[in-house]
Each structure stands twice: as structure tokens, then as C-alpha cells.
A and B are shown apart, each in its own frame.
Chain A
Amino acid sequence: MQPDHPSGNAPVDEPVPRRAFVARLGHWLAGLAAAAAAVVAGVFLAPAANRRSRRVLLGTDGDFKVRTVTWVRHSDLFVLREEEGFGVFSARCTHLGCIVRRTAEGFVCPCHGARYDAYGRVIAGPARRALPWYRIVRGSDGRLWADLSAEVESGRLEAIVSAAPGEGA
């Protein structure tokens, strides 16, 4: 077969010989295809969206006695009730996410031994942050809810007497 163009014989003054160019193009295209495949794989494997409600039901006033801490098992929270009012904070250790347990001095994590006082502040161990406290709200039905999207200052008890409009239902 005759070359249809004289440069098919790759003259010396050509900056990139044709074969080298085609080979390089092939590498780039293969790289592009691999990148596209990685994007498709990433999209396919991306985690399901977080559709959890940020507002969780705690219970009625009667569920929480004054001067006690109650463990709300299904949402990994503790509800503290004293004369001044209610406080709700996470039972999830801020170190690596295990659920802490009650002890005489406060709380302890069974996975790596992080220790917290009765208000969830760090005493000892590998945790660096206190257990986070959340806003507590009263629904229109009179029940108590925790708003996990609103973190509040540690140890702040709220009296929450009035129902916030449109809450809860």
C-alpha cells in the first residue's frame, strides 16, 4: 500500500512522529476511559442519602423523674431532669462513637475508656470533646422532642413550659 501522504514516512523535522503521537493519544484515551469508569463506579457506590429526621421523640414529662438521668435507647440520648428543667445530650462517645454507660461519677465508654462527668464533660481518657447537648422542645401534643440539628451549650437546662407552634406532629 502506498502512503497517501509523504509524511507517512515520518520525516526527521516532524516534532512528534506519527506513531508516537498515536500511541500517546491511545494512552490519554485509556486514561480518560479509566477516569470515566471511576466516576461511574463512585456514583454507583455513593452512600444512600441521609433521610433521618433530625428531630427525635423523647417522651412525656412523666417519663423523666426529677434529679434523674434517663437513657433514651432508640436514639442514643440521655435526658437529664432537675428542678430547673430538662437537658438532653448524646450517649455517643466523642472519641470513636461507642455508646457510653452510666457510672457513679458520670459516664464511661466501654470501647476505649473515655470518662465523662454527670454533665458529659471530659474527665479522663482519649475523648477530647464533651458529649454534645441538644435543644429540647415541646411539641404541640405536649411531648418532649430533641432537636439534633441545634447543639446547645453543655450543661444548660431548659424549663420549656410552652409549646412551640407547629412543632412535633
Chain B
Amino acid sequence: MSRFLAELGDALRAFPESLRRVFRPGVSGPDDPSSARLRRNLLFHLHPLKVRPRTLTFSATFALGLCTATLFFLLLLSGLFLMMVYTPDPQRAYACMQDLQWAIPGGAFFRALHRLAAHGMVVCAGLHLLRVMFAAAYRRRELNWFFGLSLLLLTAGLSFTGYLLPWDQRAFWAVNVSASMLENVPGGETLRGLLLGGPDIGADTLVRFYTLHVALLPALLAGLFFLHLWRIRKDGGLAGGEAQEASVPAWPDLVLREALVFLLVVLALVVLSALHDTPLGPPADPHRPDNPEKAPWYFLWLQEAVSHSAVAGGVVLPGLLIALLALLPFLDRGDEGVGRLLSSPLGRRWACGAFALALAVGAALQWWSIAGGDAPAHPDLLNPSSGMMALSLLALLVCGMRTGSVRLGVFCAMAVLLAAVLLFLVTGLCRGPEWRFFWPWEEWPVA
């Protein structure tokens, strides 16, 4: 009995110390306090112990990867709140949106936060890819380049499955069009059935998209995200810092910079979401699309390309883009200038020249397609989308031959495709009723 009390007394006396030990098990590491700090915390654990000073400068990465990650974090957080009030049922979904927007306190804020963060994530992930590509930072980092590419595609998939959920006109017709698009690819019929859950878009479709959006795709994205970070360590830090530089400890040099970017992004998003009024389109009408029925801006270039030809614009053009990106680390085998944005003056001249030329040619092609009277004899071959693809392959050959560098050839081809995407996006924004072209200052006719 007395022994029991003595032990209990000891335990109680030691309680504060035991509690501390829960969080800081007495691991003895190197004496260096900065590395001890990194070892104590899972988030810090993802960092290397030492980083090279050049990779810390803003212009080395523009912090685009970190911005993307921060926005994903905000999306998970705001998404959890939205899940609490949303029912994936065609009878209820649109009413949930109305409740969020006008009845639930804070609903409009979380909806705005989720939407703005999603748009921001598409922008940041896209710019991150461009930065890494034009800095040739994929060299000797092939696996992480693939992880990054998959993350971008997952981001696009999450955006797509997300905008079906409000069950408004845009949602319904976007799914309808993409489901029809699958009929143009081999094996698409099966995929279409798996995605829609039935012959038509309905309750089964909404539940499937909901499950993809809130569970499968975010889980995949989170998993790949950690692999992506882990590979940075495995590959010996960010590209371009290899040369002879002295390294500095990640704490505080890297971690505090990251914290600053994280807080700035969160602050910007919170302020913007409080001010932003999220649009809500009319409810889905399965028998009558709006006129025009437009995709969100980040898919609008694809919609414009599809309006040239379903196969050339909708299948071949994105296929070429993804194939070029995926093959890039194997085509380019040069090791000079890695990690520095368009490091050679020659490359900068070629890429900018190809971009400018592509804008001019693309504008002429678009004008021909919009103003041209008679349809060409082979509309699936002769249209602005296939024209721009031909131009990009031409740029690859000409630039590659003249500079003797595969990397610069691919950069020129990508510059042309980038110009095509931008041009199609702007044209898409200018489309009005009946998918006719209107200048921004022209008024749309009342239907």
C-alpha cells in the first residue's frame, strides 16, 4: 500500500517532465542547435539540414512551389468546411450553393477562399512548371520532373471535378462536353461509363465526381507532394546550386523565408476572399446550355482549340504538350546552365523570337478561321490548332539545327505552344453568343 502511494507520488511529481518527454524524446543529436531543431519536427524534417545560398534567392525559384503548396493547404482547409454543408445530390447541390452564398454565416467567405485558392494553385503550378522547364532544372531530376508533371495534371483534375459540384449550367455542360470528348480517344467509351456511372450525367455522376474530388485525387496529390519534396533532398537540393558554394543551415535561413512566403500567401488569400464576390451561375438545365456556354478560364484555351476540331484541338494538342514535357529530360542531355532561367543569351533570343513569331502567326490563323467564309476542305487538318502544332515542330527543327542544341529546339517548340495557349485563351474570352467572336468593347446581342 505504502509502496503504491510512493510510486504514485513519484509519478505525479515527474508528470511535467513526462509530459515534456512526450514531445521531445531525449534524442541526442549533433551539438549544432539548428540541426537539432530540424530533427524535432516532421515539417522541418522534410528539409535538408543545409542548403546552398543561391537557391535561397527569390529569383532562383520565385517561391512558386511553396506558393502552390500553401494554396493546396488552404484548399484542404476550406474544402473541409465546404464538405460539412454540401450534399452531392442533383436535387440538393445547387441549393447548398445558394445556402453557402447567402444563408450560412461565413459560407461566402469559404467558398471564395476555395475558389480563389484553386485558381491560384493552377496559376502557381503552371508557372512553377515553366520556371523549372526554362531553367532546365529537370536535368538529372527526371523522376521529380515526372512527379511535378503528375501533380500539375492532378491539379487540373481537381479543378475539373470541383467545378461540377455546384451543379450549375457550366458544371453540367462541361461534364457533358468532356464525356463526349472521351468518345474520340481509344478506350474512351469504357472510361466514360466509369466516370459517369450510367448512360447519362446524373446522380451517379455527381457522387463519383464528389468522391474523386474530396478523397481520391487529394490523397494522390498529397502523396505525390511529399514524394516531390523528398526527391529534392534525394537529388541533392535544388538544381543549380551544385557549384562549390558554401552551404548555410536550413534553419533559420530557409525555414524563416518559407514561413514569410506562407504567411504572405495566406494573408493575401484571406483578404481577397473577404472582398471577392464568388459568382454562381444559373442551375443546371440538362436540355438547354447557356449561350455561350464557357469553361473556366484555365480550360478556355482548350475549349477554343476544340471549337477548331475535336480531334486536333482536344486530343492531339494537349497530347503533344504533355508528350513534349514528359520527354524533355530525355531529349535534353546538356548539363550547362542548369538551374538558371534561360541562361544562354542565344537561347533567350531564340525562345523570345519563336514566341513573338508564334503570336503573329497564331493571330493570323485565328483571324482566318473567324473571318474566313468557306470552310476548308479538310477542317480537321487545316485549322489554327494544327497550324500552331506544325509551327512548334518547325521551331523545334529549325532552332535545334541552327543552334545545334536539342534543349533550345524544345524550348522554341514550347514557346510556340505557350503562345498558342495564350492566344486561344484570349480568343476564348472574346467569344460571345453562338460562339461568335466579339471584341471586348463590342456589346453582345440580346438573344
Contact = CB atoms under 8 A, between A and B. Distances in A.
B181 A98 contact: no
* Of listed A73, A95, A112, residue having the most chain B CB within 10 A: A112
Interface of B, helix, strand, loop or mixed by DSSP? helix
Interface in A88-137: 95-99, 101, 103, 108-113, 124-126, 128
Contact of B306 (A50, A74, A76, A112): A112
Contacts of B173: 98, 111
A113 B193 contact: no
B199 interface: yes
A113 B307 contact: yes
A48 B177 CA distance: 20
B307 A76 contact: no
A47 interface: yes
B307 A48 contact: no
A122 to B, nearest CB: 8
B305 to A, nearest CB: 10
Contacts of B371: none
A45 B292 contact: no
A128 B308 CA distance: 11
Interface stretch (B133-141, B146-154, B432-440): B432-440
Given A47-B198, A128-B379, A110 B287 contact: no
A92 B193 CA distance: 19
Interface of B: 173, 176-177, 179-181, 193-194, 196-199, 204, 287-293, 303, 306-310, 313, 375, 379-380, 431, 433-436
**Nearest 5 interchain pairs by C-beta:** A113-B435, A97-B180, A112-B307, A47-B193, A110-B291
Interface of A: 42, 45-48, 50, 52, 73-74, 76, 95-99, 101, 103, 108-113, 124-126, 128
28 contacts: A47-B193, A48-B198, A48-B199, A50-B199, A73-B288, A76-B287, A95-B180, A96-B177, A96-B180, A96-B181, A96-B306, A97-B180, A98-B173, A98-B293, A99-B287, A108-B435, A110-B291, A110-B292, A110-B433, A110-B435, A111-B303, A112-B177, A112-B306, A113-B434, A113-B436, A125-B435, A126-B309, A126-B310
